[in-house]
Copies of this chain bind each other. A is one copy, B any other.
């Protein structure tokens, strides 16, 4: 299977990826060193575009200090969609990157009617525990809550000061371009988010260094906004942030996988029965209406959610994936058979994962900066 054989933007009709690339200067991935090609996200074009990522590749080659920055919104359940970023954290951690993880609890507090304690609990039980179980070494990460950047006051003061200072270098029109309807809460969240992206480079943290942020392409406006503000900020010495863009893992019904719609996602805490029901009942199929037609004309794996789950997460072997794709496309494999493979793969993964999750439970609290 070659890199661009499947173009998942057809799968997700509401994002015009090509337009994004043309208008906003996002560029296709350039040729990457071998180590990247061992990762199927790169190999299969799931991570498909970038901004300034060349300097990150250079820094990795030269073993320079790099920071991968990411954030999480501590609401809802951790689902398969979240695994896409988690896997990248683990990949880059192994390459020597320091991983910064911002728990956006202040942003969540402003946007939703939840208090900071609940948000904290959810961040730990849903997100951090699953990261650890997936293989992220939390001890080597810098994980923080926006409401409590650090146990070191110098670091906290520097972080919040940076967020405040970004406000001098922004206009309401810039915020409106990103958020549409803008409120004080959203504006404030956006300033904190810019600080999340840039503060690793402050002298109180890592000092000037290369920072990159892997995101879904819908997150690019936030990155553009922060890049723009940072360019006007002459009294800070920042290297511009780099970024990569991946496709979304489609939701079961082939829309967005959303924490607020239970029937759109598979959570990492789902039972085997739940997984089976969800895939059988809800997973959008690229198969034909009748078995006869399917055998005759074949199915369409490009829009088949089960197939996409195998491609994104559960079939790392390209040959096996190719075979499934071929058989499904030419009608040899039925939707039921494809779904069966996917259900088994997901359940085998979840069985192992849920064991690891229990083990991670006990170790986790101490790695966090207490509020």
Question: Which residues of A are at the interface with B, using a C-beta cutoff of 8 A?
Answer: 106, 109-110, 115-116, 146-157, 160-161, 164-165, 167-168, 170-172, 175, 182-185, 187-189, 191-192, 235, 371
Contacts and interface: CB of A to CB of B under 8 A. Distances in A.
Residue among A164, A185, A187 with the highest chain B CB neighbour number at 10 A: A164
B185 A167 contact: yes
A164 B183 contact: no
Copies in the assembly, this chain: 2
A143 B323 CA distance: 70
Contacts of A153: 148, 150-153, 155-156
Contact of A149 (B150, B157, B191, B371): B157
Given A147-B157, A147-B161, A160-B160, A168 B371 contact: no
B106 A371 contact: no
Contact of A183 (B148, B150, B156, B172): B172
A144 to B, nearest CB: 10
A36 to B, nearest CB: 37
Q: Is chain A's binding surface mostly helix, strand, loop or mixed?
A: helix
A233 B156 CA distance: 24
Contacts of A115: 235
Nearest to A370: B154
A150 to B, nearest CB: 6
Contacts of A149: 157
18 contacts: A109-B164, A110-B168, A116-B161, A146-B161, A146-B164, A148-B153, A149-B157, A150-B153, A153-B155, A153-B156, A156-B157, A156-B160, A157-B371, A167-B184, A167-B185, A171-B183, A175-B184, A184-B187
